[in-house]
Amino acid sequence: MYQEIDLDKININSEPPAEEPARQYYFMAKCRKWVQDFEQKNGRFPKACVVNMGCQMNARDSEKLRGILGTIGYQETDSEEADFVIYNTCTVRENANNKVYGRLGALSSYKKKNPGMMVALCGCMMQEPEVVEKLKTSYRFVNLVFGTHNIFKFAELLASAYESDKMIVDIWKDTEQIVEELPNERKYFFKSGVNIMFGCNNFCSYCIVPYVRGRERSRKPEDIIHEIEGLAKDGVVEVMLLGQNVNSYGKNLKEPVTFAELLQRIERIDGIERIRFMTSHPKDLSDELIEVMRHSKKICKHLHLPLQSGSTKVLGEMNRHYTKEQYLLLVDKLRAAVPDIALTTDIIVGYPGETEEDFLETMDVVQKVEYDSAFTFIYSKRTGTPAAKREDQVPEDVVKDRFERLLKEVQEIGAKKSLQYEGTIQEILVEEVNHQDSHLVTGRLSNNSVVHVPGDKSLIGKLIRVRLTECKGFYYLGEVIEE
C-alpha cells in the first residue's frame, strides 16, 4: 500500500520514472521539498483547502486530492483564505456551473491579499472546452486547471505549477488508464466510498456526464477487493460502491464479472458490516442482483433507483431503455425479495416536450412506488447533449408549477413512510456528534434514515442498537438500547 512508500528514499534529482504510480510518488517527493522550503521561509506549513462541489464520485476524488496534499505536507483547512485552494467542480446542471464563477470572484480578492496563494480547478466542468476558454480569458489568476481523466497526475501538475507563473492547463479527452495505489485521505475513519467503475456509456439524452467522465471502465475485482480488505483492516465497517451505473459493472473486463458476483465477494470480507452502492440504472438491474440482495446480511436495505420520468414516451426520448411498466415491475420484484427495502430516486421535471399528461404519469409512479425520499430536479439544458437541441423546451412557469406539485407529493409520502418505524428497535452506525446539540450523536439506519440519540464522540464508528422513540418527519429521535 502507498503508506509504505517512503518519499525520503526517492531521488528527486534523477529523471522521473515513466511508470505509474511511481512517477506520481516522485513528484510528491518534489512537491514536499517545495513545502519544506515554504516552511523554512514562513515558519509554518502551507494550508490547503479542497472544495468538493459534485456527487459522491467527485467526493471520492476529493479524498484523493486531500491524500496527495497531506502526503506532500500541506495542512488541511476549511477556509478558502488558504495557500492552496482547489475546486473539484460539477457541471451536471447549469446552477452547479454558475456557482463556480461566483466563488472564483471571492478567491481573486483573497489572492490579492496573499499573492503567493495558488488556485486550482479540476473536475467535470473542466472537461468543457468553453469553460476552459472562459478561464483563460477572464480568470487569469487561476494557476492550474485539469480534468477528470488525469486527476491521478495531480502531484505532477502541482510540481509544474510551482515552477510556472502562467496558468497550467492539462485536459484529456478520455482515457483507458486506471491508476491504483495513490494516497487518499478519508473523511470518516469508519466508512468509505470505493470506486468500482468510472465513466458512463448510457448517454441519457439530457445528461452531460458521459461527455465529461468518458467511457465506462471497470476496475478489476482483485483491485477492489484488495482496497476494501485494506480499508477493513484500517477500521472501515461500511463501504459505498460507486459508479454511474453499477449494474453494468464488469461487462467490459477481459474476464467479465457481474456486479452481483462482485457483491458476493465483498460480502465475504471480514470487518465489513454494511455495503451500499450507487447508482443503479433500472435497465441493467438483474434478477441475479435481486437474489443476492435477498440473501445478503450486509447489503443495506436501501436502493437508489433513478426514475427520471414516469412517462414511457419521455423515458424513450431520454434514452433510458425502460418503460413505466417495466420500472414498476422492477419495484415489485425488489419489494417481494427485500420487503423492508427503502427506495429513493431522482426525477427530472420539465424535460423538453413534457406535457401535463406526461407529468401526471410521473406523479402516478411516485404515488404507486411511495419513495422514502426523492431528489427532484428542474431540467437544465446542457450544451452538447441531444436534448439541448430541442426547440420544445417547457416554459419556466409551467415547470415551476409541476416541480412544486411533485415536491409536495414526495415530501408527504416521505413523511408518512418514515412514521412506519417509530417505536421499533433498529441498528444504527453512528457517524458524528450532532451539529446543533453536542449531547446527541447522529447515525444512520441500514435504510439510510437519520437518527439522533444521546451520546458522545466515543460512539462514532460503532454499530449500536437503538429504539426509535419519535419520528420527526425526515429523521428520528431515539434512545440507546445497547452499545
Residue 124 binds ligand F3S (CB under 6 A): yes
Helix axes 324-337, 356-369, angle to 10 degrees: 10
Max Cα–Cα distance, the chain, nearest Å: 68
**Which whole-number Å values give the CA distances from 210 to 91, 132, 203, 365, 469, in the listed order?**
12, 18, 6, 27, 44
Residue from 25, 26, 322, 379 touching ligand SAH (CB under 6 A): that is 379
Query: What are the phi and psi torsion angles at 434 (to 5°)?
Result: -60, 135
Per-residue x/- track, 75-114, ligand F3S (CB under 6 A): ---------------xxx----------------------
| Residues 23, 25: Cα–Cα separation, whole Å | 5
Residues in contact with ligand F3S, counted by CB under 6 A, come to a total of 11
- Give the SS3 label for residue 429: strand
Q: Which is nearer to ligand SAH, 348 or 365 (CB)?
A: 348
| Residues 112, 241: Cα–Cα separation, whole Å | 41
| Residues 6, 342: Cα–Cα separation, whole Å | 45
Quote the least distance from Cβ 57 to ligand F3S, whole Å.
5
Quote the least distance from Cβ 78 to ligand SAH, whole Å.
26
Residue 151 binds ligand F3S (CB under 6 A): no
Q: Identify which range of 311-319, 352-360, 379-387, 444-452 contacts ligand SAH by CB under 6 A.
A: 379-387
Residue from 29, 55, 158, 410 touching ligand F3S (CB under 6 A): that is 55
Residue 303 backbone class (left: φ over 0; alpha: ψ -120 to 50; beta: rest): beta
Q: Which is nearer to ligand SAH, 70 or 414 (CB)?
A: 414
Quote the least distance from Cβ 151 to ligand F3S, whole Å.
12
Residue 361 backbone class (left: φ over 0; alpha: ψ -120 to 50; beta: rest): alpha
CB 283 within 8 A of CB 321: yes
Quote the least distance from Cβ 59 to ligand F3S, whole Å.
9
Instruction: Name residue 133's beta-bridge partners.
Output: none
The count of C-alpha atoms lying within 13 angstroms of the C-alpha of 114, restricted to the half-sphere facing its C-beta, is 15
Quote the least distance from Cβ 407 to ligand SAH, whole Å.
14
CB 446 within 8 A of CB 479: no
| Virtual torsion, Cα 318, 323, 324, 330, nearest 10 deg | -120
Q: Which is nearer to ligand SF4, 210 or 454 (CB)?
A: 210
- Give the SS3 label for residue 463: strand
Q: Which is nearer to ligand SAH, 85 or 246 (CB)?
A: 246
Q: Which is nearer to ligand F3S, 91 or 446 (CB)?
A: 91
Quote the least distance from Cβ 193 to ligand F3S, whole Å.
12
| Residues 145, 125: Cα–Cα separation, whole Å | 10
Q: Which is nearer to ligand SAH, 50 or 209 (CB)?
A: 209
Per-residue x/- track, 282-311, ligand SAH (CB under 6 A): ------------------------x-x---
Residue 54 binds ligand F3S (CB under 6 A): yes
Site of interaction with ligand SF4 (CB under 6 A): 200, 202-204, 207, 209-210, 244-245, 281
Q: What share of the chain is helix, strand, coil (3-state, %, to 5)?
A: 40, 20, 40
Residue 203 partner contact from ligand SAH, ligand F3S, ligand SF4, none using kind-dependent CB cut-offs of 5 to 8 Å: ligand SF4
Residue 346 binds ligand SAH (CB under 6 A): yes
Residue 54 partner contact from ligand SAH, ligand F3S, ligand SF4, none using kind-dependent CB cut-offs of 5 to 8 Å: ligand F3S
Q: Which is nearer to ligand SAH, 43 or 395 (CB)?
A: 395
Which candidate, 57, 447, 54, places its Cα nearest to that of 242? 57
- Residues binding ligand SAH (CB under 6 A): 92-93, 206-207, 209, 244-245, 279, 281, 306, 308, 346, 348, 377, 379-380, 382
- Residues binding ligand F3S (CB under 6 A): 54-55, 57-58, 90-92, 124, 209, 212-213
